[in-house]
Amino acid sequence: MRTHIVRRRLAHGAVVAASAALLAACGQHPGANNPGDSGNGSIGQASGYKVGLALISDGSNVVRVGDQKVTFPTTVTDAVFSADGSRIAFVNGDGNIATARPDGKGLKVLTAKATGVVRSRPAWYGGSVIFTERTGNGAAELKDVVGSGAGTMAGEPGEQIAWMGETDSAEQEDKQFGSNASVVFPGPGREAAFQHAGSKGPEVWVSDQNQRTPMQSKLVDGSEPALSSDGMRVAFVDPGGQIKVIEAKKDNATPVQITFGATSPTHLVWTPDGRIAYSTPTGVESVAASVAAGATTNPPTSISSTPGVATFLPTPRDKVIRVVGTDPVEAAIAASQAVWPNRDSAPLVQGMRSGAFTVLLTGTTNLPTVLAGAQMVDGGPVLLTKGSTLDARTAAELKRVLGQVGPQVPQSTVTIVGGTDVVPAQAEAAIRAMGYLTERTTAADPIAMAATVSGRPDLADTVLLVDAADTSMYLSAISDFGPGSQQTVLLTDGSTMPDKVKTFLNGINASRVPVYPLDAPAQAAVSSSWAGKPALKVTTLNGNPTGALLGYSARASAVVVVDKSNVTDILAAIGLARTYGAPLVAIDPAAGLADAVKAWLDGSSAAIDKAYIVDSKGVFGGDLERALSGLVAGPLGATTVTNPKAAA
């Protein structure tokens, strides 16, 4: 059986309910009538906001947003918009890194106040906030904290770590102390630039984070680096005090001067229309990022006649995506096509086609047992078949997503979950005739299935226990475990510990592997005694195992919502969720999103740019679309899409 490698850190599970999240924090509420509520379009856009709107912070509690003055519950310094414009990160009155909606609502403090510690210059990196920290007279260091305020199962909320972009790949033990990070995530160019304290003065370094070990190098002498939105150019202040622009990926590139007489420019930032804005002692200005060869002038434009730090509302990027079909088979195919490209036309990576390398195939019968095996999803979608042979639509999707077997597309494996009563032998034979391998996993019941697919206990690094009757908790537990996770989800029979689970727990490294009972029955089961039981490292979540488990990556980029009573839709949704390492939220369509889920989505909005709704029966109306837009999008709202097709 496949074992699993950890893909992302889990957020703390028990999340307390917070105040109801408003639509993009712009005075609207879920359910408000907005243009474009149905079909492909835009929902949740607030009046008065537009791309490029300037937000200026000056260290007071009054923030200027365009022509408006917004009073925050704390002072705001060095504010910066997230990539989708849904939140700003800043330094608050206690010197902590905090985030909030652009209107001051939804305040989250990410760090703890510490004597002698000075924090500054936050920058968003996906769902994280990178910031400069200096203790006493020590060197400035870049730190990383989860932007949602969530911690991990192994740590506490607000856990700070040294930003990995500072690690010198050539000398692993040599930390590159730096400050003033500028990040693009993602981008075709460099992903990060930061100011490094060189022996002769400040230096601008660039970093490529898309490597096993981040690769970085010095770009030029200077300070105040700012990456363009595509990561291809860096603006900086040269040693002479003027702003220059240099290509980020070109060796020995020559900087081009773009200001002539700027007064002490700091806090450089690219505007959405490609200009460079900067702070001066008397205000905020911007200049064109390009000048003619030999130019000696580039007149600035005044943005603010009083001092402050500017950040600009970016182009909206959030989407609410419906995945629909006329039946479960079609809905699963739509979910597959939304994220997995055609294998035969996918790009070559090291001589091989990228894309899905496996498919988990199951049927529409014996669903509780099948669901318990769905945590096996690993590097591909979940597809369904029904009838006495392989559904022709599923056969076509298998060929599309796995490709024609050949030199550039090796033989893939289709993992079948369930016995021949679920996926007939004729269907398996048809798959083999297409050139694919098959691997079938069967079990008598859900508890046995979860134990069967759990892999070797000596390889587990985290064990989650859930009552077999608690479907929503089970889905929360498995949804974050992306391809190859070593984290294991096992089922209890209410408060009774099944023999197969006892055997697994007896085989783990009890001193190292934490065991999390996620609901009250599972907690009772793990507290019971049995023969050979080791001294397990049992941890409840915030002391409240019955709380809403949002066991999601603290940096999840997507969320998947599904009807909790529709198991076939849930199977398709699992394929989507595990592709992203995303939370899977199973809800009652009549009840809508729980307060704890709303609070988590609101706090995580800077990271989440896709909200999927899997709905083969049409049970979710426009209210859910509007609610999701309000929770994850910025003031410019979200685009709605139905059954998109993944690009090759």
Q: Which two tokens stand for residue 115?
A: 């004597």
Predicted confidence (pLDDT) at residue 535 exceeds the cutoff of 70: yes
The overall average pLDDT reported for the chain is 85
Backbone angles phi, psi at 76, to 5 degrees: -130, 120
pTM > 0.85:
yes
Helix (H), strand (E) at residue 507: helix 499-507
Which of these, 195, 224, 223, 222, lies nearest to 207 by C-alpha position?
195
What type of residue is 28?
A: Q
* Cα–Cα distance, 264 to 285 (Å, whole number): 12
Q: For 183, which DSSP code?
A: E
* Cα–Cα distance, 89 to 123 (Å, whole number): 7
- Banded pLDDT at 179 (limits 50, 70, 90): confident
Number of CB atoms found within 10 A of residue 417's CB: 30
The tens digit of pLDDT for each residue in 276-289 reads 999 999 999 999 99
Which of these, 359, 583, 335, lies nearest to 478 by C-alpha position?
583
- CA dihedral for 581, 582, 583, 587, sign (positive or negative): negative
Q: Which two tokens stand for residue 510?
A: 């009890």
Q: What is the pLDDT of residue 462?
A: 87
Residue 57, CB-side half-sphere exposure with 13 Å CA sphere? 25
Q: What is the pLDDT of residue 405?
A: 83
How far the first Cα of the chain sits from its last, in Å, is: 30
Residue 385's SS3 state is: coil
In degrees, to the nearest 5, what angle opens at C-alpha 65 toward C-alphas 628 and 99?
55
Q: Which of 15-29, 61-75, 112-126, 299-313 has the lowest mean pLDDT?
A: 15-29
Write the burial class of residue 71 (CB in 10 Å: 0-12 exposed, 13-18 middle, 19+ buried). exposed
Residue 372's SS3 state is: helix
Which of these, 481, 74, 533, 56, lies nearest to 283 by C-alpha position?
56
Q: Which two tokens stand for residue 543?
A: 């002391």
Please give the residue that has the higher pLDDT: either 549 or 53: 53
Q: Which of 292-296, 365-369, 516-520 has the lowest mean pLDDT?
A: 516-520
User: Yes or no: is domain 52-312 CATH 2.120.10.30?
Assistant: yes
Residue 524's SS3 state is: helix
Q: What is the pLDDT of residue 350?
A: 64
The tens digit of pLDDT for each residue in 304-314 reads 999 999 999 99
- Banded pLDDT at 316 (limits 50, 70, 90): very high
Length of the chain in terms of residues written: 648
Q: What is the pLDDT of residue 188?
A: 76
* Strand bridging mode 201-208 / 215-221: antiparallel
Number of CB atoms found within 10 A of residue 8's CB: 18
The tens digit of pLDDT for each residue in 181-240 reads 888 866 677 888 999 988 899 999 998 766 555 678 899 999 999 999 999 999 999 999
Q: For 366, which DSSP code?
A: S
Q: For 582, which DSSP code?
A: -
Predicted confidence (pLDDT) at residue 13 exceeds the cutoff of 60: no
Average pLDDT (342-358) is: 79
Predicted confidence (pLDDT) at residue 1 exceeds the cutoff of 80: no
CA 241, distance to chain mean position in Å, is 38
Residue 91's SS3 state is: strand
Per-domain residue ranges of the chain: 52-312, 319-342+356-642
The tens digit of pLDDT for each residue in 375-410 reads 888 889 999 999 999 999 999 999 999 998 877 777
The tens digit of pLDDT for each residue in 72-96 reads 999 999 999 999 999 999 999 999 9
List strands edge to edge, sheet with 283-288.
266-270, 275-280, 283-288, 301-304
Predicted confidence (pLDDT) at residue 484 exceeds the cutoff of 50: no
Q: Hunting for tokens 């490029």 — which residue is that? A: 52
- Banded pLDDT at 38 (limits 50, 70, 90): very low
Backbone angles phi, psi at 304, to 5 degrees: -145, 135
- Banded pLDDT at 595 (limits 50, 70, 90): confident
DSSP 256-288: EE--SS--S-EEEEE-TTSEEEEEETTEEEEEE
**E strands of 400-496, at which residues?**
413-417, 437-441, 462-467, 487-492
The tens digit of pLDDT for each residue in 104-148 reads 999 999 999 889 999 999 999 888 899 999 999 888 889 988 888
DSSP 130-180: EEEEEETTS--EEEEEETTS---TTS-TT-EEE-GGGB-SSSTT-B--EEE
Dihedral angle over CA of 31, 33, 38, 41, nearest 10? -110
Average pLDDT (243-254) is: 93
